Amino acid sequence: MKFGLTSALFVSSVLILACTTQPQLPQLVESDSADLAEPLDPQLLREIRVTAKTVALSPPMDSDVVCQRVTPTGSHLSKQRCDRRSSLRRQRQEAQEWLRSDGLDGSVSGVFSVPTR
């Protein structure tokens, strides 16, 4: 009895799903053949290339903001953390100084700990 009811329910749900229509996806970009046939201005292309090279070759500034995905210790959920380059450099230097002194000198990111010796 249970098997017959279960199989009837399964067959009816498959038939209902098969009869539903697939939603029409909207077309995001409509292509005009007139836009594609128009050649780009050579002067504009040169300006774009120069700007791209300038941006790619410019050195990073201390005021730049860098965002990275960080997973805190004891968690599986990552969070986005954004800091300025100068702040990241300062934290890295403090951590290196703390490691060099075996934890006796300074602290890492404001966390004070007492070494156990």
Domain boundaries, the chain: 65-100
The reported pLDDT for the residue numbered 54 is: 80
Burial 89-101 (b: 16+ CB within 10 A, else e): eeeeeeeeebeee
Tens-binned pLDDT, residue by residue, of the chain (117 aa): 666 667 766 666 666 666 666 666 566 555 555 555 567 788 888 888 888 888 777 777 778 888 999 999 999 999 999 999 999 999 899 888 888 887 776 655 555 555 555
DSSP 30: -
Please state, in angstroms and rounded to a whole number, the distance separating the CA atoms of residues 67 and 63.
13
Residues whose CB is less than 8 angstroms from the CB of residue 72 and which lie 6 or more positions away in sequence, other chains included: 79
C-alpha–C-alpha distance, residues 39 and 32, integer Å: 14
